[in-house]
Structure 1
Amino acid sequence: MLLAALTVAAPAVVPAPAAADTPTLVVVKTLGAVDDVHVMTRDNHAAPAHPDSSFLLVGGSRLSDARGYLRFDLSSLPEGVIQSAALRLSAVKTPSCGHVAREGIEVRRVGEAWSADYLHWGNTPVSVPEDAVTALADLPCGVAAGETEWPVTGIVQDWAAGAENHGLVLGSPDESTDDGVWYLASSETQDHPVPRLLVTMEVPSTPSTNGLYVSSSHRDGDHMWLASTAPQVYTQVRDPAGGRLTAEFQIDHDPAVPEQGTGLIWTATSNQTTDAGKPTVRVPEGILQDGWRLRLRVRAHNVTAGTVSDWSPWQSATLSSVVPEITGPEMTPSHQSDGVTVTTSLTPTFRATASHPFIEPLHVAFEIEHDPAAPEQGTGYIWSGSEPDATASGAQTQVTVPEGILQDGWRLRWRVRANAGPFASQSEWQTFTVGLTQ
């Protein structure tokens, strides 16, 4: 019997049953094909099949027989019990009606490896008849029949039980009958649903969190510096069983500084989200105080299954309002004329030093605006500039205004901005005039 094949990449990981006391949820996992190709009798070792066709031709006629191959990767299936599985393909065109009754298309398990990049009629893999299934025999002749399914539960359960996973073989139950060629959509199609393998599983609920994050914060090794007393706190929640998930957050006083307080400060549970969601809560104003040393943790809840994860490790943190210190801001060339700072250059250079006690490097930038006292010359922003690389804490930053930015006679103002992670500061505005002849 000649058959077409649909292959699954890599050995399937055997899903294990859940422990008796672990709640489970029913999950449907949809897998797309990672390779597909159809093979005809004319394909040989010198001219193998082309894996980039938009269709998979399957079946037989007086002129040619055809087989189609697809590859699915089952490695993403979670641990659990396989309840059912279905192969879903789009029947783009059914065979024309003929003198031979159509038998449909049979699906079998493939018994040896194959490669989509070099597949021809002479090296198609053998198949295994156990758990074979047939479908499509009752579809109308010569039409686009839409999506169709083969129940391949037995085959997928064979893999779970330890059978080598080389995929599925798809073809006419008896190609000698020449009952027609089917056009099925491949993964390269642009106009039809692509091939899919749908696996329904009973999966243990094991919620977990991935990371603990705080807005307006800076991480220094294992410690976190917080710049806001009302930050947002968030995490990512996961559960292979799906369901509705929430995250529960806690903030405690640091036990190392009991003089600031002890025990729980604040706790909150997020709104519900889905697997891989990022639940977020905001600490209300008035709860935390500047200078406090804290610790934070989080755990995940699966509301649908009634399960909860372990708490994450404690994350230490310190609340701080210390912003960068800016010293020595200057512009050159410049001089005083009748109480006004004047630069005689269209490309002056600005310098300043910024420092921070526990964060480096810093980003230091200089800004120039029109002087609000001379709106007839223009208003608002003109230019900002910084060094290409961040500056070490305590080091001087120097930036020169490019040509073509400033004009003679303009009345302007400038300042320095310094950012150390979430901590930011800026100098006072200083006014000056561009006077090339002064």
Structure 2
Amino acid sequence: MQAYRASLLHFLDDPDKLGETDSFEYIEDGLLLVENGHIAAAGHWKELSKQLPEHVSLVDHCGKLISPGFVDTHIHYPQTEMIAAYGEQLLQWLETYTFPVEEQFADADYALGIANCFLDQLAACGTTTAMVFGTVHPQSVDAFFSACERRNLRMIAGKVLMDRNAPEALTDTPDSGYDDSRALIEKWHNRGRLRYAVTPRFSPTSSPEQLKRAGQLLAEFPDVYMQTHIAENHDEIAWVKELFPQCEHYLDTYDQAGLLGRRSVFAHCVHLEDAEWKRLAETHSNISFCAASNLFLGSGLFNLKRAVEHNICVGMGTDVGGGNTFSMLQNMADAYKTQQLNGYELTPFKAFYLATLGGARSLDCDDLIGNFLPGKEADFVILDKQATPFLDFRFRHCNTLLEELFVLATLGDDRNVLATYAAGKAIHHRDKTNEAMA
């Protein structure tokens, strides 16, 4: 057993459903007990410390905040090396930067090197779970899952499916995409803390036949995931209408293939039609809100209020490399700004919910992660409010928890992440090297 003393913050439900004051638990002087990689207890120091066995090692982080690890519901590990690529919007950005970089992932050793760099960055930003795109190459997924397995991370990932409108070196076929994905599912899905996601990049790069084969995989393996993109960019939507004249709208390209459902995550959803909002809600499908990416690529403003009104599960996604940061704190800041422009006040409570329990719910793994209920996996992050002299100055002028969380969500970044733990083991410490944590 390990014990950590600090302020504790975790959510029990969505603030929009339960109300802000009842949706979370905040303990100013708290104690988190971890045993065998799981949460043993979380409570008040004054009460829980009396129950500590003598042999337990206590780590004192008084003045700091412990939160569940952040959950990134949409990100591309092969785009790590091209993050912050200049000057293009979505379709041109794919052609100019993304596709050339992804061709390199036919090399398994190269893919493994990028995977390790990527996972180091996630840990440094406090992210412990992510839904991740590989490339069209099966070896890109093998490399990624191998790196995750060594760190004992809860991760979801999949091989990209693309059989058209992409460079030849990055295309598969409906049959080869199905066969490769099936083999990867059988090898990796539910192996340790790993899960698989069937991954058509987006409708323009998959033929109707390939999308149907993706649906076949979901029917054959009902507990796997599906991840893709939708309604990110106006030119993209116009292109989909040209390619799929038989479909009612963009979402229908996926719906006709059987790709909607509880474990389906649709990234962006910036320009959805009314019928698409309704259908996502009917099928209990999920949305990844990628604020930083939507701003960086000039895509538009996601309407979080519509998602709340339709009772659709939403998580946050950094969408690296369309997004220009791995930091969920920085994405909270961008999320707040986008919703201000939409006339919707995103509270810091809702933002932290989306980045923790909300993300876990949208990935259908809130039974395992997302808060500090006993028995859940011990994925957590220790946040330092005094990470810089100015942050220390600013926090000393906060009078309420709402103010503190809002400052953390709008001024915070990776410097605030003192340490990150996965299954009870430190995978990052700001003041130590990643090699020391290995």
| Shorter-normalised TM range | under 0.3
Bigger strand fraction: 1
TM-score, scaled relative to structure 1: 0.22
When Rg is computed on C-alpha atoms for both structures, the one with the higher figure is 1
TM-score, scaled relative to structure 2: 0.22
Bigger helix fraction: 2
